[in-house]
A and B are shown apart, each in its own frame.
Chain A
Amino acid sequence: MIYLRLIVTNLRRHRIRSFISIAGIAFSVAAMLTVVTILQGAIGMFSGILSSDSEIIVFERNVSDLFFSNVPAAAAEQIAGWPMVLHADPVLFGIVSSADHPIITCFGVTAADARIRKATWLEGDRLAFAHHSDDVVLGERAAEFLGARLDDHVPIGHGVFHVIGILKTANGFEDGGVFMPLSSAQGFFHKEVTSSVITVKLRNKDDAASFKTMVKEKFPNLIGLESAEFTRSYSQFKILKATAWAVGGCGLLLGGLGVANTMIMSVFTRIREIAILRVNGFSHLQVAAMIFGESGVVSLLGAVLGLATGTCLLFILKQVPALHGYVDVTVQPFVLLIVILLALITGIAGALYPAAYAMRIRAVEALRFE
C-alpha cells in the first residue's frame, strides 16, 4: 500500500510531466492500434477476395506479388475437371487508372465467379455479364468515385468501357474495383490465356492435402494453398504486417523515450527522498521496484488511454466513405495483448537507466549535500 502511495504520490507531484508521458504512450498505442488494425482489415479483405466461395488458391510458385503471377488457362481447365473439385475459377488481377484515380483494382472473372454470382447487384443484370468485351461492372464505391451510372461509358486506363452493372459487396477492395470478363481483362493487360490465380472450391474440405499434392505433381510451377495458409505465408502480407508493427514500434520507442525522460527527471528531483528510503531500510531492489512501478503505471495508463483513443479513431475512420470496408473496429485480442505488452515493455525499458541511477544513489552523500 505504501509502495503504491509512493508511486502515485510521485506521479501526482509532477502532474504535467506525468500526463505528458502518459499522453506519449497513449498516442503511440493509438497509432499502433490504428495502423495495425487497418492493415489487418486490409489483409483480411484481400484474403476475402481470394477466398470468396473457395477454400484453396492456386498461383505461380515463388512470385512476390499475385499481380505478377501467371497461371496458364489450361491449368484452370484441368483442375476444374478433377473429381475432388466442385469449381475452379480463374481470376486475373490488374491495376488500372482513370482520370483523378491513379489506382483502381481490376478483376478479370468469368460469369460463373462467386464475385459476380453472389454480390448484391444494385443496378444492372448479372446475366448480362461477359456478353461484350467492353462491358464492365463497377463496385459501388468505384462507381461513386468514377461518377458512373448504369449504361455510362467510362474511361479506364487506355480504354473506354460500358457500365452494365453496379454491385455492392462487403469487401472494400471489391467495392472499389472494376469487374470485367476474363477474356477482356487478358487482352487489356496483355496476359492472354493466363490468369493470376485460380480459386478452388472442393467437394470435400478433407481433400485439401491431396489436392495440394496433385497441384505440385502436375504443375511444378504452381502452388496450392489453403486460405489461412496463404494469409500466413504471402510475402506481401508479411511485409505489410512487419511495416505496421515497425511504424507502431517507432511510435512506442518515442513514447518510451518520453517515459525515460520523465523517470530520469523524477529520480533526479528526489535524490534525497530515495536516500531517506535507503536509510529506512529500502534495498536497491525495492528502490528499483518503486521506479519500475511508476513507469509501469504510466505505461498502463497510457496503454488504456491509447486503446480507448485508438478505438475511437478507428470508429471515426470507419465512417469515412473512402475507407468503407477497410476498417474493422473489432480489435483482435492478440493485437490488444501485444499492444499492452509492448507499452509495458516500453515503460519498463524507459525506466531501466533511471532505476539503475536510483540504485546507485549513496544515501550518505545525498543527505549530506542536497
Chain B
Amino acid sequence: MNPSTTQASSQNRIVVRAEDVWKSYDDGAIEVLKGANFEAAEGQTVALCGPSGCGKSTLLHLFGGLDSPDRGRVSVNGMEINRHSDLLRLLRHEVGFVFQLHNLIPDLTLEENCLIPTVAAGIDRRTAQARLRQLTDRTGLTHRLGHRIQKLSGGERQRTALCRALMNKPKILLADEPTGSLDESASAAVFELLLDIVATEGATLVMATHDHSLAERCDRLLEMHGGRIHEPEYAR
C-alpha cells in the first residue's frame, strides 16, 4: 500500500494519525489491522468504508483510546494515549463518539443522557445547560428534553447521541455507522445534521459506514480491506 494514499490532502494540522498500526484478537488468531496508516486534518470529514469485520470500528476505537494497538502508533492531536489520565482527557475533551446503536441510557431523559459527559468532565451545570440548549435547538430536540429515551424515535435517539457526543466541544467526532440503524429518510436527515454540525463546530469527523452514498459526501473517502486503508481512484 502506498501510505500517501491515506494522507490528508488539506493544509490544515493533522489531528488524527495512525502509523503502521497492527491489531489482532484472540491471541493473534484474528488479524484485523495489518499495518494501517491514516491521517485526518483539522476540520476534515473522512469516511471509512469497507465490509463488516474489516477493522473500521477497531480503528475508531483506537482513535478514541478505547483500545490500544499491538504495534504501531496512534496519536490524537499529536498525543499518544499511554496513560489513564491521557485517556480521560481524550474522552472528556478531545473526542466524541456516535455509535450505530445509540448507546443511550434508556431510563434517563434526553437531557440527563446528554449531561453525562459534562458530569464526567466536571463542567458546571449552568454552562452544560447552555450548551445542551444550543445543541438541542440545532437538532430540533428541545421540546424532547424531559422525555425518556424509550419515548423517542430512532432518528431522535441518534440525534440525541450526536448532541451527547458534542456536549464537551470535542475536536474530533468518531462516528461508527451513525445511520446504520435508521431507515433511509431518517438516515439522510441525521447525516445532513451531522455534516452541518461538524462544519459549524469546526470538528473533524471520522466516520465508519457501509453506505457509499453517504461516504461520498465527506471530504475524503477511504476503503478498508485486508487490514489496510486505501484511497480508491474514484474518490481522489
B97 within 8 Å of A (CB atoms) = yes
B66 — which chain A residues lie within 8 A by C-beta? 279, 362-364, 367
B235 within 8 Å of A (CB atoms) = no
Q: If A279-B97, A281-B92, A284-B84 touch, does A367 touch B103 (CB 8 Å cutoff)? A: yes
**Judging by beta carbons under 8 Å apart, are A286 and B107 in contact?**
no
Stretch at the interface among A24-32, A40-48, A189-197, A270-278: A270-278
| B105 nearest in chain A by CB position | A273
A6 within 8 Å of B (CB atoms) = yes
- Interfacial residues of chain A within 323-370, with CB under 8 A of chain B in the complex: 362-364, 367-368
Stretch at the interface among B12-20, B116-124, B200-208: B116-124
**Judging by beta carbons under 8 Å apart, are B120 and A9 in contact?**
no
Q: How far is the CB of A297 from chain B (nearest CB, A)?
A: 16
A276 — which chain B residues lie within 8 A by C-beta? 103-105, 116
**Judging by beta carbons under 8 Å apart, are A6 and B108 in contact?**
yes
- From the candidates A5, A10, A273, A362, name the one contacting B112 in the complex (CB within 8 A): A5
Q: If A364-B67, A368-B57 touch, does A280 touch B164 (CB 8 Å cutoff)? A: yes
**Judging by beta carbons under 8 Å apart, are B116 and A13 in contact?**
no
CA A167 to CA B108, docked complex, whole Å: 67
CA A282 to CA B67, docked complex, whole Å: 16
B135 within 8 Å of A (CB atoms) = no
A283 — which chain B residues lie within 8 A by C-beta? 84, 88, 120
- Interfacial residues of chain B within 38-81, with CB under 8 A of chain A in the complex: 57, 61, 64, 66-67
B115 — which chain A residues lie within 8 A by C-beta? 2
A145 within 8 Å of B (CB atoms) = no
Interface residues on A, range: 20 to 34
B57 — which chain A residues lie within 8 A by C-beta? 368
- From the candidates A1, A277, A368, name the one contacting B120 in the complex (CB within 8 A): A277
A67 within 8 Å of B (CB atoms) = no
B99 within 8 Å of A (CB atoms) = yes
B21 within 8 Å of A (CB atoms) = no
B92 — which chain A residues lie within 8 A by C-beta? 281
- From the candidates B84, B97, B104, B125, name the one contacting A1 in the complex (CB within 8 A): B125
A3 within 8 Å of B (CB atoms) = yes
A282 — which chain B residues lie within 8 A by C-beta? 116, 120
Q: If A5-B112, A9-B107, A272-B103 touch, does A281 touch B67 (CB 8 Å cutoff)? A: no
Q: How far is the CB of A362 from chain B (nearest CB, A)?
A: 8
CA A5 to CA B115, docked complex, whole Å: 11
- From the candidates B61, B107, B120, name the one contacting A280 in the complex (CB within 8 A): B120
Looking at A286, A362, A363, which has the most chain B CB atoms within 10 Å of its CB? A363
**Judging by beta carbons under 8 Å apart, are A367 and B88 in contact?**
no
CA A29 to CA B73, docked complex, whole Å: 56
**Judging by beta carbons under 8 Å apart, are B121 and A281 in contact?**
yes
Mark each residue of chain B from 83 to 118: 1 if its CB lies under 8 Å from any CB of chain A, else 0.
010001001100001010001110110001001110
Given A279-B97, A281-B117, A282-B116, output 18 extra A-B contacts at Cβ < 8 Å.
A3-B119, A5-B108, A6-B105, A9-B105, A9-B107, A9-B108, A12-B107, A273-B105, A279-B103, A280-B91, A280-B97, A280-B116, A280-B164, A281-B88, A283-B88, A284-B84, A362-B66, A367-B99
Closest 4 CB pairs of A and B: A281-B120, A281-B92, A364-B66, A281-B91
A interface residues (Cβ-Cβ under 8 A, vs B) = 1-3, 5-6, 9-10, 12-13, 272-273, 276-284, 286, 362-364, 367-368
